């Protein structure tokens, strides 16, 4: 019966938070397919650690931490360094009806940020985490979070000013 309770509570959590976590993953990597991969990695790791994480009441924070770290790890992989096509695929254009897809200039600017700056901006300003919470989830110091956030916001402001002027 304990296994059934564990399974049921995990399934309930995933059903309730999957769409939100998928959007977080997309904000971190700017690609729906990679976002799905990141979410799958995070949910598998969550399932393994579910009893401990649930006992601590930190389910969502745990998944966000995995998403951030997996996104940064994926961006560092050599096969991710190749240039991506500049034309948007029709399938992706159709999925832009999502709430995030309504802000293409912001997403394009966010995509151009280095992975750690993007993660810091998403965690601080999209999810509303504190500097301390962001530092804990990213595994870096609070000062580094502040500098990544500041640089990321400056780059976003500059890119958005250019896109609105052009």
Domains and CATH numbers, the chain: 2-165 (1.20.140.160)
Confidence band of 164 (pLDDT split at 50, 70, 90): confident
Q: What is the pLDDT of residues 51-64, one digit of tens each?
A: 999 988 889 999 99
**Whether residue 89 has pLDDT greater than 50:** no
Crossing angle, helix 142-165 and helix 104-111, to 10 degrees?
130
- Mean pLDDT score, 141-152: 95
H or E element at residue 91: helix 90-94
Which value, in Å, is the radius of gyration of the alpha carbons in the chain?
A: 17
Per-residue confidence at 80, pLDDT binned at 50, 70, 90?
A: low
CA 59 and chain centroid, separation: 15
Q: How far apart are CA 128 and CA 58, in angstroms?
A: 16
Q: What pLDDT band is residue 104 in, cutting at 50, 70 and 90?
A: confident
- Percent of the chain exceeding pLDDT 90 equals 54
Q: Specify whether the CB–CB gap between 19 and 27 falls below 8 A.
A: no
């Amino acid at each position: 019966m304990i296994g059934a309770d564990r399974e049921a509570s995990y399934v309930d959590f995933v059903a309730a938070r999957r769409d939100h976590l998928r959007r977080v993953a997309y904000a971190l990597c700017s690609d729906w397919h990679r976002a799905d991969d990141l979410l799958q990695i995070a949910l598998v790791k969550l399932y393994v650690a579910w009893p401990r994480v649930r006992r601590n009441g930190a389910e969502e924070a745990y998944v966000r931490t995995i998403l951030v770290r997996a996104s940064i790890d994926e961006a560092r992989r050599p096969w991710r360094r190749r240039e991506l096509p500049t034309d948007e695929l029709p399938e992706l254009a159709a999925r832009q009806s999502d709430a995030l897809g309504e802000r293409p200039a912001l997403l394009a600017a966010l995509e151009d940020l280095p992975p750690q700056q993007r993660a810091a901006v998403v965690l601080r300003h999209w999810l509303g985490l504190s500097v301390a919470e962001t530092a804990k989830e990213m595994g870096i110091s609070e000062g580094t979070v502040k500098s990544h956030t500041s640089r990321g916001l400056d780059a976003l402001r500059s890119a958005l000013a250019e896109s609105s002027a052009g």
